[in-house]
Chains A and B, each alone.
Chain A
Amino acid sequence: MKKEVNCGEFLESLSDYVDGILGDALCKEIENHMADCEDCRIVVDTLKKTIYLYHETASKTTIPLGVRERLFRSLDLDDFIQKGNLLENDVTF
């Protein structure tokens, strides 16, 4: 019974915990709880991995050249299409 209550409290604080913005005292309580609760350890690990995978795979998405070119034309910035290519390293991440 006690374990269920702890798991519930843990769930509400989960985002702050994985973002590293939870207060020290609560953080310590959660880590103590996780030491005894394998399910919660798995939830934290898989949640961190979920966030990582979305960011990692999306960060490889860059604007296709044709889309960029049409964007510049639609904004009447045709003369900057080539010049912008020089900045490519700044916007590819």
Chain B
Amino acid sequence: MSEGNQQEFSLPLLRVGDRAEIARLVDAYSTNIYRLALKMLANPQDAEDVLQNTFLKAIQALPKFEGRSSLSTWLYRIAANEALMTLRRRKPEIEFSPTIDAIESEELALNEFTNWCCLPEGDLISSEAQSYLDQAIQELSEKLRVVFILRDIEKLSIRETSEALGLTETTVKTRLLRARLKLRELLSVYYGERLGTEKI
């Protein structure tokens, strides 16, 4: 589970709208939700809108929250839906695109076998490299991207990711593998070029 939920919250207080408890909840998860939105949308203004809408909706729904999933998984679920709706508003045709589901039946491609792990940490996480990481994640379809963000960036378990997205664990695992392999390929091309430069 992500690191943001180390604190415990009183559900009875949250359900009756206790403002101090709600403020504590917002403070504990606002970074996680903002980060999810930013990685999904690559646009700070859209990410801020998703952040605000997520907590507005959560606060409205708290009186009916039954606690079947954890608070954090529930918040991620609201936020993921908000982010996906924002993406669909940007590109309404995406919902009808046959290419999205086709991704899951694609061959798992492995074409890059450069070992770039030995690059110095400074090269791996330079500001240019970080921009590339952000660019590469946007090349994933939204369905693969949201799974990768929840599992590998926010560190939710497979089960929590499946709960947050309303998917089976098998689907989460399938999408996660494709997302990871695609990003590994993209990063291998990028860092492979840096490796070539280092050797010259």
Seen from chain A, the residues whose Cβ lies within 8 Å of a Cβ on chain B are 11-12, 14-16, 38-39, 42-43, 45-47, 49-51, 53-59, 61-63, 67-68, 70-72, 74-75, 77, 80, 83-84, 87, 90-93
Contact = CB atoms under 8 A, between A and B. Distances in A.
Given A55-B155, A58-B39, 17 more contacts: A16-B173, A46-B184, A47-B181, A49-B116, A50-B180, A51-B180, A54-B153, A55-B152, A57-B130, A63-B35, A67-B34, A71-B55, A77-B19, A80-B19, A84-B26, A91-B28, A91-B29
Q: Choose among A49, A50, A74 the residue with the greatest number of B CB atoms under 10 Å from its CB.
A: A50
A55 B148 CA distance: 10
Contacts, number: 131
Contacts of B22: 75, 77
Interface in B77-115: 108, 110, 112-115
A71 B50 CA distance: 10
Interface of B: 3-4, 6-7, 19-20, 22-24, 26-31, 34-35, 38-39, 44, 48, 51-52, 55-56, 59, 108, 110, 112-117, 124-125, 129-130, 133, 137, 148, 152-153, 155, 173, 176-177, 180-181, 183-184, 187-188
A87 B28 contact: yes
Nearest to B3: A93
A79 B148 CA distance: 36
Interface of B is mostly: helix
Contacts of A87: 24, 27-28
Interface of A is mostly: helix
Closest 7 CB pairs of A and B: A80-B23, A84-B27, A93-B3, A15-B177, A63-B34, A42-B115, A63-B31
